[in-house]
Structure 1
Amino acid sequence: MKTVFDPGPRQELAARVALLSADSKARWGKMNAYRMLRHCNTWSEWVLGIGAPTYRQTLLGKIFGKMALRSNTKDDRPIGRNMPAGKAFLATEREGDVAAEQTKWLQHIDGFRHFANERFIHDFFGKMSKEQIGIFVYKHFDHHLRQFGV
């Protein structure tokens, strides 16, 4: 399975991110290109531990999280369309500097090369192994890049 911790998938993701532009249109969902980039950057910072985020699993996650995690990391099946984004990761501004957000996302993708955030706890899935984190990060990024046709 593809993981963001392997060089090949990181290079593939970076090449796809480079294909985005301010004019890229979503095939599904409500985000424009800028909002998707902001979402992915905010989410990346959370996973990487940038800015000292706090981690807490929701009650619903404590009940269903492990089952959902296994389902999302057991094979190469991509994340389905129109999955809801956590409210903490929604970009409130509608427009902004797409090129700056692309550059930041590329830096975050490269930053997964040295992932060392042992404190990370997914708000729904809970504690994840490093292998599960790598697979899910790849799938999350792939989901949004497919959303914009790249």
Structure 2
Amino acid sequence: MKSFFEDGVYEEITNRINKLDGSTQPKWGKMDVGQMLNHCQMPLNIILEKEDYGVKPNWLINLLFKKSMYSDKLWRKNLPTAPGFSIKTEKDFEVEKQVISILLKELNSQKNRDDWQPHPAFGKLTKAEWGKMQYKHLDHHLRQFGV
């Protein structure tokens, strides 16, 4: 699995996002493209220490899902969204694209940083685990929209 912190990955993700427009339809799932971009901002806000969304440690979730968050195995289609991360309200595509672009640029500017806060649900993660988790989530949703 690629890591967001690898050379060229920021550009790859940005190029894929730039292929989206407000009418891009999902291949699966319930979110529209604006909702997906809003949803994808949430893990970025967590790693950038802007928001924790009230996420709390849960030993069962940690035991069952932590390694799948950054493993090399792709997530299957239509996985359930964690409570509090589901976007049901309408979102403006252009606004959401601008916000996620800003967050991605900020995270890219910190890619050489080695000290990252613990994840609010999964606890201590290495830089490699954080980077893979960020890439895997973005890749999953960009594949959902065919880019």
TM-score greater than 0.5 by the shorter chain? yes
Moved more, 132-141 or 100-109: 100-109
Larger helix proportion of the pair: 1
Asked if structure 1 preserves the Cα contact closer than 8 Å seen for 2:25 and 2:33, the reply is: yes
Indicate whether 1:14 and 2:9 are aligned: no
Shift in Å at residue 128 of structure 1?
1.5
Question: Could you tell me which residue of structure 2 aligns to residue 98 of structure 1?
Answer: 93
Determine the structure 1 residue equivalent to 2:140: 143
Answer whether contact 1:28 1:147 (CA < 8 A) is retained.
Answer: yes
1-structure distance, mates of 2:46, 2:23: 27
| Structure 2: unaligned runs, 5 residues or longer | none
2:131 matched residue in structure 1: 134
* TM-superposed deviation, 1:72: 4.6
Normalised TM-score (structure 2) = 0.84
Equivalent residue, structure 1, for 2:118: 120
- RMSD across aligned positions (CA): 2.2
Q: CA deviation at 1:59?
A: 3.2
Q: How big is each residue's C-alpha offset from its partner over 1:90-138, in whole Å with a ceiling of 9 and x where there is no partner?
A: 22312x3211111111121222220557323152x43211101101110
User: Displaced runs of 4+ in structure 1, greater than 6 A?
Assistant: none
**Deviations 1:5-25, CA, capped at 9 Å, x for gaps:** 123111000000111111011
- In the other structure, the counterpart of 2:70 is 73
Matched position secondary structure for 1:6: coil
- Aligned partners of 2:44 and 2:103 also within 8 Å: yes
* TM-score for the superposition, normalised by structure 1: 0.83
Cα distance between partner residues in 2 of 1:45 and 1:93: 19
| Letter in structure 1 aligned against 2:32 | N
**Corresponding pairs, count:** 144
